[in-house]
Amino acid sequence: MLKKLFQSFRSPLRRTQHKRSTPEVLNSSQHSLQRAQFSRYAVNIVERLQNAGYQAYLVGGCVRDMLLNITPKDFDVATSATPEQVRAEFRNARIIGRRFKLVHIHFGREIIEVATFRANHPQNDEDEDSNQSSRNESGRILRDNVYGTLEDDAQRRDFTINALYYDPVSERILDYANGVHDIRNNLMRLIGDPTQRYQEDPVRMLRAVRFAAKLNFGIEKHTAAPIRDLAPMLREIPSARLFEEVLKLFLSGYAADTFEMLVDLQLFDPLFPASAEALERNPTYTHTLISEALINTDLRIKQNKPVTPAFLFAALLWPALPARVLRLQNRGMPPIPAMQEAAHELIAEQCHRIAIPKRFTLPIREIWDMQERLPRRSGKRADLLLDNPRFRAGYDFLLLRESAGEQTDGLGEWWTDYQDANDSERREMIRELSGKGDGSGDAPKKRRRSSGSKRKRSAADTPGAVGE
């Protein structure tokens, strides 16, 4: 049956003939959902829209997550009412978006997103109204405001597990794409022909990975098959949109698994081309460093500790940096200016792919700059570095490099000891460095600690994506 379903989406002519228009209806006795589990504001919106004569349902991720006993991050509503009609019903409503018009209804800090049922785009260019829908030459949807029926909307959803509609009034689930079946089988499956759906929006490839990692689902073979060939289409996506998608990929608590899947499906290259090149050139070190950073980021998120995208991007891009620094040093540039110039060049290139805001690029460069400064500890330099607001992030990053196998002649241990030492012990540590040279990174002699054992840092504290 599923094989026939996928075959029916091969041709635009056959797709309309085989579109499923009758959902499987699950009554309250056939599922575990109860209206009290959902946001009371979202339930209220559904009831008010239904009382006004419109169709309205809770839809997508909130229904999926509730079926999996996961607390939803947000609650979305789908309705037959147009954005203008929704706004007319709610004073606290605001229409947003041009590419995809939505309504946000505000209840204090909680925002309920309401979307009008969408329909498929016209197959012929001459039938398209550019004010409602448009595509580029490769088939990517540029504007998506073609409204339709509930049945149309279900077919326009990306994955079967997101095409579930819950009516909190009747407490029924409408399942148009066997989504409940795929949830029970832990499977990610695209609705429709995978190649066409990815061409319409290449970000769906990233969404497939994100949901699979988050839910611990497998990606159905036909859904996965075109991804490697179509991965370069991500280069067409606006860099600002990719920044938001990358944050969702790596700051949702499943970054380590996400990274493995991105690499396996060749999606990492169009997102981080310089790092992908470093992964190919020096696979063990690059993979270890990025994986360690992501594992500890996941741990911090699970422990409700703060994280910052700056540390995350610093780790993702670092493996591409040393070779550039060395190249500049070989041309006669001193180490710190070489680091600064290479960092500027690498970040500028990366921002063409992913628009990292300046509020993050500046601390990224400061974390990297600290890697050249931390070995320089003679005189008053160590104390000045310890007072630097970026010291902790730079120190954590140093430990991350060491955990990936970089040889720093005990620099991380030295700074760990220095932070724990009293003033006289610190002066002795500096004198030991002076006796060996200029304090540029030689390993210090072992010293007897005055009290207590060396402080142990947990995996969640270092080297993770620290909060600033």
Task: Yes or no: say if 376 and 403 are a contact pair by the CB < 8 Å rule.
Answer: no
> Could you list the active site residues?
74, 76, 158
Q: Which residue has the tokens 């929006």?
A: 201
Q: Which tokens belong to 388?
A: 């630097």
Residue 405 makes CB contacts below 8 A (sequence gap 6+) with 284, 285, 288
Q: Which tokens belong to 131?
A: 């004010």
